[in-house]
């Protein structure tokens, strides 16, 4: 009798859970406009990709998808906003490598990326490209390193904020090349790029979407890319790894939401976003901006973020990297 009672209780709980999930699934799309939060300034790589994706997503679901730029603290303000924001599926975050896997190791943030944000799908991946203004006269990675060694502490590099992929790329190069270049953080790729173009900063580990037009015009000189292989859009630019084997600082943006969001809504957002990211016009548009669409499952993204979190945490501890 007791066993039958337990079985009945379990069945009722499962039924209630299924009913709750179905109810949440029927709430899609949200009745109010969907907000896609980006942790960097307008005009940067994250903003460009987010707007390409948001446009098609809005068309598909028949609901407005508004891109909201919230720069500050290397993207951490935006991640905190979404982690502590509405859990009704109306607010998504175009999360980035820095706030999700790097900066929580050496900065005080208002969220735990592994507990307070739920994975939806990977968005895009791409290497950064180390660029210098043409006015510097530096034309190769070798010349950059040689100058940095001759003038320790004189060369600097811009990033999209403390703990960003660009920041860690610069710190890694300092370590493997045994040089001393100075980190200059910005609130996003666009303002960083403007100061590099203006000659106020020596170099920038830039995202391809923001750098490519200026590389093509000759205003910026590409010295190296930060992935393990040369990207198709910069086939003649070497990787840092060609000079320093094993160097890898690939950038990525992924879709996440508040961890309090019901599973049914997270699953539905995965379905819709994967559909958008697999659309040929979206993939082609992203590729034109130097980014590769990389849709996947929620489980794959969760495992990836956890692995990246552990990897960068170890590197930050071993190299004693700080936000200063």
Between CA 162 and CA 98 the distance in angstroms is 8
Q: What is the mean pLDDT of residues 288-309?
A: 95
38 DSSP 8-state letter = E
Between CA 208 and CA 44 the distance in angstroms is 10
pLDDT band at 232 (very low <50, low <70, confident <90, very high): confident
Predicted local confidence at residue 22, as pLDDT: 46
Length of the chain: 324
Predicted local confidence at residue 16, as pLDDT: 41
Domains of the chain, start order: 31-126+251-319 (3.40.190.150), 129-243 (3.40.190.10)
CA within 13 Å, CB half, 273 = 30
Between CA 135 and CA 120 the distance in angstroms is 43
Residue 187: pLDDT over 60:
yes
Residue 6: pLDDT over 90:
no
Between CA 2 and CA 105 the distance in angstroms is 49
Question: What does the pLDDT look like over 89-102, one tens digit per residue?
Answer: 999 999 999 999 99
Q: What is the mean pLDDT of residues 49-64?
A: 97
Question: What does the pLDDT look like over 161-175, one tens digit per residue?
Answer: 888 889 989 999 999
Whole-structure pTM value: 0.81
Q: What is the mean pLDDT of residues 105-123?
A: 96
Alpha helices in the chain (DSSP H): 2-25, 45-61, 76-83, 97, 141-150, 165-177, 189-197, 208-217, 240-243, 263-277, 280-288, 298-319
Predicted local confidence at residue 14, as pLDDT: 45
Question: What does the pLDDT look like over 234-248, one tens digit per residue?
Answer: 999 999 999 999 899
Q: Calculate the average pLDDT of the chain.
A: 91
Answer positive or negative: Cα dihedral of 225, 228, 231, 236: positive
Residue 19: pLDDT over 50:
no
């Amino acid at each position: 009798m007791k066993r039958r009672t337990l079985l009945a209780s379990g069945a009722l709980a499962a039924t209630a859970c299924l009913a709750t999930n179905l109810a949440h699934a029927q709430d899609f799309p949200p009745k109010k406009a969907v907000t896609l939060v980006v942790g960097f300034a307008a005009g940067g790589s994250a903003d460009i990709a987010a707007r390409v994706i948001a446009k098609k997503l809005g068309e598909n679901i028949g609901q407005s998808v508004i891109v909201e730029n919230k720069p500050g603290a290397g993207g951490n303000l935006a991640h905190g906003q979404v982690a502590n924001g509405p859990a009704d599926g109306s607010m998504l975050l175009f999360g980035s490598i820095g706030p999700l896997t790097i900066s929580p190791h050496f900065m005080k943030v208002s969220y735990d990326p592994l507990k307070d944000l739920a994975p939806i799908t990977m968005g895009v991946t791409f290497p950064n490209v180390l660029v210098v203004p043409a006015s510097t006269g530096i034309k190769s990675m070798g010349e950059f390193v040689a100058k940095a060694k001759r003038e320790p502490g004189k060369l600097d590099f811009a990033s999209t904020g403390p703990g960003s992929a660009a920041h860690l790329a610069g710190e890694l190069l300092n370590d493997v090349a045994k040089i001393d270049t100075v980190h200059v953080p910005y609130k996003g790729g666009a303002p960083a790029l403007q100061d590099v173009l203006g000659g106020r900063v020596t170099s920038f580990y830039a995202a391809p979407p923001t750098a490519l037009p200026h590389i093509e015009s000759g205003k910026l000189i590409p010295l190296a890319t930060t992935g393990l292989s040369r990207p198709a859009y910069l086939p003649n630019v070497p990787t840092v790894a060609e000079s320093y084997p094993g160097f890898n600082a690939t950038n990525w943006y992924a879709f996440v939401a508040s961890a309090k969001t019901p599973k049914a809504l997270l699953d539905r957002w995965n379905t819709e976003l994967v559909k958008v990211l697999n659309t040929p016009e979206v993939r082609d548009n992203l590729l034109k901006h130097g980014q590769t669409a990389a849709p996947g499952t929620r489980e794959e993204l969760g495992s990836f973020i956890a692995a990246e979190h552990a990897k960068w945490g170890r590197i930050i501890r071993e190299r004693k990297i700080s936000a200063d």
